[in-house]
Amino acid sequence: MGYRIFTDASADISDELMRDVPAVEMIPMDVELDGTPYLYGPGGNLDNKKFYATQRAGKFASTSQINPLRYKEYFSKTLEKGEDIIYLGLTQGISGTFMSANLAMEELREKYPDRKITAVETYCAAVGLGMLVHEAARMQANGLSYEELVAWVEAHRLNICHWFTVDMFDHLRHGGRVSGAAATVGSLLNIKPLLHIENDGTLKVMEKPRGRKQAIRHQVAHMKEDWIPDELGNLVVIGHGDDEDALKQCTDAVLAEFPNADIRPAYIGALIGAHTGPGMLALIYWGKKR
């Protein structure tokens, strides 16, 4: 009967990103915004505009990993149709959600012994995960079998390069990811920390450019060193935290250096945005190394 690709709402998939590939199954996630619980993703009651408007009003958000029961609910619908499942989820370096998926799968394998159910550790996050999901769907459409697609993702997941910049420190400080003193100094100096997803899927601050323009120059400089469009394609994803001006600046900077880049914009959604706040900017591309 074939197989379905699953991901979750942390993948930050946009219609523009997925316009040329088959649909994938997305599992919604829980977000608490200003003390009110919401469901973010398909069937949810929180969109990106509302989320960032609330943050700009001085409110904060928190997230929680997907419960194994929710995974079982969503996976079971596909398994009951006689289809197999490949799940591509948020890196374990950032969240425990991937382990919840595995717990659900252990039970489902007993109930559906004839079905194949695989969770692939992606070492990706946010729009980086979204790009990997897009490319997996593209390879599925090209005819890769279940086993071939799992092998393809495992072979190429570390070629997805993530370079993020954060526009403000308020939400990093609120979540305990930077100290109050560091946040104060960073804000005074207009630092836009450049963050990177490492090979193990963890997030690391790599550089501390000052100002948006310098931060984008650093992002593009890394792309100039590593981009390999001739090997894996010219798709480039630019993610933003409800900041169309930053999106345009980054898009213009990339196209000035790489006019053949296939740029797809996407929102940084609530799952990552809860910790980074408005104005985050991500540049994602195929690279020869992380």
Task: Name the more confident of 133 and 179.
Answer: 133
Looking at the structure, tell me whether residues 9 and 152 fall in a common domain: yes
Question: What's residue 181's pLDDT?
Answer: 44
Question: What's residue 176's pLDDT?
Answer: 53
Q: How many domains does the chain have?
A: 2
Question: What's residue 174's pLDDT?
Answer: 56
Looking at the structure, tell me whether residues 26 and 141 fall in a common domain: yes
What dihedral angle (degrees, nearest 10) is formed by the CA atoms of 11, 12, 15, 19?
A: -40
Looking at the structure, tell me whether residues 109 and 124 fall in a common domain: yes
pLDDT in tens, 36-93: 999 999 999 999 999 999 999 999 999 999 999 999 999 999 999 999 999 999 999 9
The H-assigned helical ranges of 89-226 are: 97-111, 126-141, 146-156, 170-174, 180-188, 212-226
Looking at the structure, tell me whether residues 114 and 64 fall in a common domain: yes
Question: What's residue 185's pLDDT?
Answer: 41
Looking at the structure, tell me whether residues 200 and 273 fall in a common domain: yes
Question: What's residue 177's pLDDT?
Answer: 55
Provide the CATH number for the domain around residue 192.
3.30.1180.10
Looking at the structure, tell me whether residues 142 and 244 fall in a common domain: no
Looking at the structure, tell me whether residues 31 and 152 fall in a common domain: yes
Looking at the structure, tell me whether residues 102 and 190 fall in a common domain: no
Question: What's residue 190's pLDDT?
Answer: 74
> Considering 90, 124, 158, which residue would you say is the last residue of a domain?
158
How far apart are alpha carbons 121 and 157 in whole angstroms? 9
Q: What is the mean pLDDT of the chain?
A: 92
Looking at the structure, tell me whether residues 86 and 113 fall in a common domain: yes
Looking at the structure, tell me whether residues 107 and 224 fall in a common domain: no
Task: Give strand ranges (E) for the chain.
Answer: 3-8, 25-27, 29-33, 36-40, 61-64, 84-89, 117-121, 160-165, 194-197, 203-207, 235-240, 262-267, 281-286
> Considering 158, 191, 211, which residue would you say is the last residue of a domain?
158
> Considering 127, 158, 189, which residue would you say is the last residue of a domain?
158
pLDDT in tens, 222-252: 999 999 999 999 999 999 999 999 999 999 9
How far apart are alpha carbons 146 and 150 in whole angstroms? 6
Looking at the structure, tell me whether residues 65 and 189 fall in a common domain: no
Task: Name the more confident of 57 and 175.
Answer: 57
Provide the domain limits for residue 224. Answer: 159-286
Q: Kindly state the percentage of the chain with pLDDT values over 90.
A: 86
Looking at the structure, tell me whether residues 15 and 149 fall in a common domain: yes
Provide the CATH number for the domain around residue 99.
3.40.50.10170
pLDDT in tens, 270-281: 999 999 999 999
